[in-house]
Amino acid sequence: MEAVIEREISCERKGEAGVILLDRPRALNALTLGMVRAMRQALDAWEKDPLVTRVVIMGAGEKAFCAGGDIRKLHDLGKAGHLDEARAFWGEEYQLNTRIKRYSKPFIALVDGICMGGGVGVSLHGSHRVAGDRFLFAMPEVGIGFFPDVGATYALPRLPGETGTYLALTGERLGAADALALGIVTHVVPSAAFPAVLDALVAGEPVDAALAAHASVPEPGPLAAERPIIDSCFAAGSVAGVLAKLDEAAAGGAAFAARVAATMRSKSPTSMAIALEQVRRGKTMDFEEAMRTEYRIVCRIAEGHDFYEGVRAVIVDKDQAPKWRPARVEDVTSEAIAAYFAPLGPDELELP
């Protein structure tokens, strides 16, 4: 087992830094349970080690920091009836997200390439998030019948205006400039400077100074111009209400609103309703309550239809033609969505 973990991830002390390298470049550094456990073990050890003054996480290869959890494996476990194994992954992943959020030392994510789903969970909650030239952020879960998890319930409602709701319901992608403007990343640094940044962090230079030495402020990203439409349309109280406002804006000539409405109509109606409820409830939750809530949702999602259908359509058969149940936004009931958020009793997620 150890040899497998070593191929997937390395966690080692270099100078004053504990350095985590997600090392599955062919799989876009998608997370496995072994990787989650290795990170947790390393963080526990480094927190007690006075020689380690900061933690750095990065991804191998040029395509991705981390494209998420190993969704195909989770799909296969659920289809085979091994729900306990799937729940174990999500539970331990959420515990790791919480560990990172509450870590007592600077936690610096050097993010170049794709950062989605589980990759967001091991970067966004750290103290410093650094975007390189290839940075691409998204929480695209509603497109596979899933929901924005790994702490999105806490993080997305705290983004400016209704941008968090927009990201949750559309799965739209952001580049570095928009991510910096929203506070998703704290610094934008050229990819070519990442080795120098890592060297400075390993050498023990003050973290903020090491990052500021290479950081720049890019021109505003494309999202900036669309903020009035986003903040107006995504303030609606239901997914149907959001779509109605987008349709109205599109009828008035807003091409962005038309494109976003079309995007949403391809997503799982149930997933979008869950996501909207998440960001509304999450505004008043602390991080731990948000993670327990996500575990409640994921346990119900794993027993449902849309997740398996979404993964089939996008990842397994790749026909891009999921048949959602229910198929229409109007047919998703508030009672059905409330059931995803109900307590799990003795099966609630335990957090440190």
Catalytic residue among 68, 91, 117, 118: 118
Catalytic annotation present for 294? no
Residue 69 bears catalytic tag: yes
Please pick, among 69, 78, 121, 310, the residue that the annotation labels catalytic.
69
* Type of residue found at 135: F
Residue 345 is a catalytic residue: no
Catalytic residue, from 141, 172, 226, 277: name it: 141
Structure tokens at 129: 């998030």
- Is 199 annotated as catalytic? no
Q: How far apart are alpha carbons 148 and 87 in whole angstroms?
A: 16
- What count of other Cβ atoms lies within 10 Å of the Cβ of residue 64? 25
- Catalytic residue selected from 23, 70, 112, 149: 149
Nearest C-alpha neighbor of 162 from the set 259, 243, 254, 229: 229
Rg (alpha carbons) of the chain, rounded to whole number = 20
Place of tokens 């789903």: 117
Closest residue by Cα to residue 125 from 140, 107, 113, 141: 107
Task: List, by residue number, the catalytic residues.
Answer: 69, 118, 141, 149
